Structure 1
Amino acid sequence: MKLSELSCGANGIVTSLSELPSATRKKLMVMGMLPDTQVTVVRLAPLGDPLQVRVRGVDIALRKQIAANIEVEVR
């Protein structure tokens, strides 16, 4: 499942960032979004873009296009 498909308040475990461009992947990994890390969708903007996710206690705003390239497993 893609991160962009999770509903507000849902949790997931990051399984893959491989579909992202290298520079974007590196920036997200520096911010703590690594494989096998739990992410929570905190809220969605009124028009659906961007979405706010919580990773390791830090909130990150992600464009829907970027979130659509992050694979997660719902738990």
Structure 2
Amino acid sequence: MATQPDSLKRLDELKSIGQQARIIDVVGDDSISVRLMEMGLTEGEEITVLGFAPMGDPVEYSIRGYRISLRKSEANRVQIESAE
């Protein structure tokens, strides 16, 4: 099994407000994955963590000039490359 480069991770792994990343892929081909892509989470887009709900879920992000909130289970489907 091939290993992923250290810079590749999942969107739900970003833990600090202000962290930025570039979307590599949305994993899966079910309705949730399709909906995430329809909401603008597509390859090459920059995404930034804006805030966390009091219990840590959902998380608010900025992408394409608007705000979006995703549950951790949804963010786990988005493969990213960390900008750090």
Give TM-score, length-normalised by structure 1: 0.88
Q: Distance in 1 between matches of 2:60 and 2:71?
A: 9
Q: Which has the larger radius of gyration?
A: 2
How many residue pairs were aligned?
74
> Any residues of structure 2 matched to 1:21-32 within 5 Å, and which?
21-32=29-40
Q: Which runs of 5+ in 2 are unaligned?
A: 1-8
1:3 aligns with 2:11: yes
Q: Distance in 2 between matches of 1:27 and 1:68?
A: 14
1:62 aligns with 2:70: yes
1:41 aligns with 2:49: yes
Q: Which runs of 5+ in 1 are unaligned?
A: none
1:53 aligns with 2:61: yes
The root-mean-square deviation of aligned C-alpha atoms, in Å, is: 1.2
Give TM-score, length-normalised by structure 2: 0.80
